[in-house]
Amino acid sequence: MTAAKVTPEAIRAMKGAAPIAALTAYDYPTTRLLDEEGIPLILVGDSLGMVVLGYPDTVPVTLLEMEHHTRAAGRAQPRALLAADLPYGTYATAPEAVANARRLLAAGAEAVKAEGGCAIEDRLRALRQEGIPVLGHVGMLPQHVREEGRYRIKGATPTERAALLADAECLTAAGAFAVVLELVTPSVAREITQRIPIPTIGIGSGPDCDGQILVFHDLVGTFPWFTPRFVRPQLQAFAQMRAAIAAWRASL
C-alpha cells in the first residue's frame, strides 16, 4: 500500500501525536533520499545560499535560484510535504508575496515559508486568502542577520519573550500550518509550544518543540567549514569523501 501524501493539515495534526522530523533539501537526490526515509516535511531552504551557492548568508539568494532548486527537489515527487523559502526582499508587500509564492508553487513547492511574525501578518493572511499554505518562522531571522550583526539567541529578556509569544499568536491567527522557532531560548520555545495550537518546529531552540528541523548538510557533514554549535552531526561525510579522493588519486 502506498503511504498517503503529506499535506499541511497532516503536519498540523502531528502536534501532540508524533515528533515532526524536518530537513532541508535543495536537489533531486537529497529530496528522494529524505522521502524514502520517511521525513514528512522537506524544506527547500534559502540556507542553500551558504551551503550550496557559497554566499556569506541568505540575503543574496534570489527567487530565480529558489525556483531552480525547488524544481530540482520537486522532480523527486516526494510523498513528503515540500515547502520552499520566499527569499529576502520577495514579500515586502502582500501582492508581491502572493505573486512570488505562486512562482515557487509553479516550480513544485506545496507550501512557502516566510520569516517574521506580527510584522508580516498582512502578507501571511494574503497568502492564506489565496489558498497558499504557509510555514511561519520566528526567533532569529537569518534574512535579517546583517541588521542584527550576528546570529543570536532570542527570548532571553522579558521584552523578547513577549514579542516571540505575540509573533507565534499572529502566525496562528494568520493561518500558518506550523512555525519554525530558530534560536529561541528553550524555555520560551516550550512556552510557545504549549500555548499555540499549531506545531512548533525548532532549530537550536531546545528539545521541547513539536518537531525539529536541520540543514541536511549540517546533519551529515557535507559543509565542514561551519557547523552551528547546536548541531550534533550524525556523519562526517566530507571526511569520507576526502579519503575517497585521496585513495583514488593514490591509485593512479
Positions touching ligand KIV (CB under 6 A) are 24, 43, 45-47, 85, 180, 182, 203, 213, 215
In whole angstroms, the minimum distance from the beta carbon of 91 to ligand KIV comes to 14
In whole angstroms, the minimum distance from the beta carbon of 37 to ligand KIV comes to 18
Residue 41 pairs in a beta bridge with 22, 81
In whole angstroms, the minimum distance from the beta carbon of 43 to ligand KIV comes to 6
Sign of CA dihedral 93, 99, 104, 110: positive
d(CA 146, CA 248): 42
d(CA 6, CA 125): 23
Nearer to ligand KIV, 43 or 63 (CB): 43
Active-site residue, 182 included: yes
Cell 500558518: give the residue: 176
In whole angstroms, the minimum distance from the beta carbon of 242 to ligand KIV comes to 25
Nearer to ligand KIV, 46 or 191 (CB): 46
Neighbours of 52 (CB within 10 A): 17
How distant, in Å, are the alpha carbons of 154, 166, 192, 231 from that of 185?
A: 6, 15, 11, 15
Nearer to ligand KIV, 167 or 182 (CB): 182
Nearer to ligand KIV, 132 or 213 (CB): 213
d(CA 25, CA 47): 10
- Taken as a whole, the chain contains a residue count of 252
The residue at minimum Cβ distance from ligand KIV is: 45
Out of 65, 67, 121, 182, the active site residue is: 182
d(CA 127, CA 102): 9
Nearer to ligand KIV, 65 or 85 (CB): 85
In whole angstroms, the minimum distance from the beta carbon of 13 to ligand KIV comes to 21
d(CA 44, CA 87): 11
CA 18 to chain centre: 19
Alpha helices, DSSP H, located in 118-185: 121-129, 145-148, 158-174
Residues catalogued as catalytic? 182
